Amino acid sequence: MYLKACVFVGSFLSMTYLEYYSSHLDWKPTSFVHHIIVSSASNYLLYNEPEKMFHITEYNSSDLLPIYNYVPMISCAYGYFDLYHAIKDKQSFDFVFHGFFFIGATSWGLYNNVLHWVYPGLLLETSSIFLSTIRTHPIVKYFFGASFLVYRNMIFPYICGYWFYHNANLYEPVMNNEKVLALFMVMINILNFFWGYKVIKKISKHLKGE
């Protein structure tokens, strides 16, 4: 737990430093660095140990390589910056909600010692790599749109559906962590499909030349 606390504090201080000295840029280095780290770890887990990704709640944190237990701590720290960006940039309610959701979900996982359960959700940060750099080049928005639809509207919903179908603990007549995770999955999928609709709408307008 001591090392996890060090990772959290170190990440938060590093992000604060990066945020302060990159405020003049038209892209978000803090977000970019976070998304690169967590999406690399989550995609590596999906590729090398898909069984653990699809059945993540059946494993203890000790069943994963040690590095996998520290990467989510970076996301715990980043959640506050995600909310900060949403408020600072005066984004719509859904982005502010995402910030609160990010903090709430990671804090819940940390409190209940199931933070490794967030790994399927960390896959979503793959598309966010391009969102944080979308103003750097016109082609980036196409990479963002494609990765968003693949990861957030296809891969993640599939993992969630598979987990819902195969998780016996979810249907026990008692309150447990699996039920809370299920609620989180439903909420983030609703948000992702809402955003996916907006992405498709923008792509459609672009193709029509509007």
pLDDT digit string, tens, across residues 53-92? 999 999 999 999 999 999 999 999 999 999 998 898 877 8
pTM comes to 0.92
pLDDT averaged over every residue in the chain: 92
Structural domain containing residue 194: 2-207
What pLDDT is attached to residue 72? 95
CA–CA dist 96, 63 (Å, integer) = 34
Encoded tokens for 124: 């979503």
**pLDDT of 49 higher than 80:** yes
Amino acid identity of residue 18, one-letter, is L
Q: What is the mean pLDDT of residues 135-163?
A: 94
What pLDDT is attached to residue 210? 61
Q: What is the DSSP letter of 117?
A: G
Report pLDDT digits (tens) over 96-145. Answer: 999 999 999 999 999 999 999 999 999 999 999 999 998 888 899 999 99
**pLDDT of 170 higher than 90:** no
Q: What is the mean pLDDT of residues 31-41?
A: 96
**More confident of the two residues 138 and 12:** 12
**pLDDT of 51 higher than 90:** yes
CA–CA dist 13, 18 (Å, integer) = 9
**pLDDT of 198 higher than 80:** yes
Q: What is the mean pLDDT of residues 193-199?
A: 94
Please, are residues 106 and 90 in contact by the beta-carbon 8 Å criterion?
no
Among 209, 193, 202, 91, smallest CA distance to 142 is for 202
Task: Report the number of distinct structural domains present in the chain.
Answer: 1
